[in-house]
Amino acid sequence: MMWYRSELGISVTELIKQGLARMVYDEEDIKKRVKELADEISSHYTADDQLVMIGLLKGSAIFMADLVRQMSIPVEMEYLKASSYKGTMSTGKVRFSCMPEQPWNRNVIIVEDIIDSGLTITATLERIRAYRPKSLEVCTLLDKNLSDVSAKYVGFNAPNDFLIGYGLDHNDRYRHLPYIASI
C-alpha cells in the first residue's frame, strides 16, 4: 500500500494501522469485480444496442473509466454532474450540472460510485427518464442497501460507513487512492 497523506498529517495507511480507518476493498478486489461487471454488462448488450453509459461526476469517473476499458462491446460515454453532499453530510437537495448531450433513444446505464440514501440516484433516474431512453439501468460500484433504488449491476454491498478512495472523497480528497477505506 502506498503512502497517502491525510488532513491529519499522517497517511491513510497509518490511520488503518492505528485502527482509525479500515481497509474495506483492496486494489485487487476492485479490479477483479470491475472486470466481472464489465463482462456481465457486455453479455446483456450487443454492438448494435447503442449503449450509453452516463457517469455521475466526480465520484464515478475512475470506476467508469476502468469499467469501459474492460467492456467487450462499443459504448458511448457521457457525464452528468449531480451532487448532494457537503463534507460527510447530505444536503438533502440534488444539484445538477453538465447534462449529457445524446443518450436519448438509446440504451442507458447510469454509472454511480455509491448508492447511499438513494437521493442522488433517484433524482438522476427521474431526470434521465424524462428523455425517454430505450432502456435505463443503474450500475454502482458500492451499494449500502439503505434505499429503495435497485441497481441492476452492483460491485459490492458496502458497509454503512463513510468511505474514501477509488473515486470516493472527503471534501474532494482521497479520490486517487487505489483502494476503498472507511474513515
Active centre residues (catalytic):
116
Q: DSSP secondary structure string, 79-123?
A: EEEEEEEETTEEEEEEEEES--SS-TTSEEEEEEEEESSSHHHHH
- Residue 90, class by beta-carbon neighbours within 10 Å (0-12 exposed, 13-18 middle, 19+ buried)? middle
Alpha-carbon span 63 to 55, nearest angstrom: 9
Sign of CA dihedral 173, 22, 141, 92: negative
> What are the cell numbers at 138?
443503474
Angle between helix 61-69 and helix 27-44 axes, rounded to 10 deg: 60
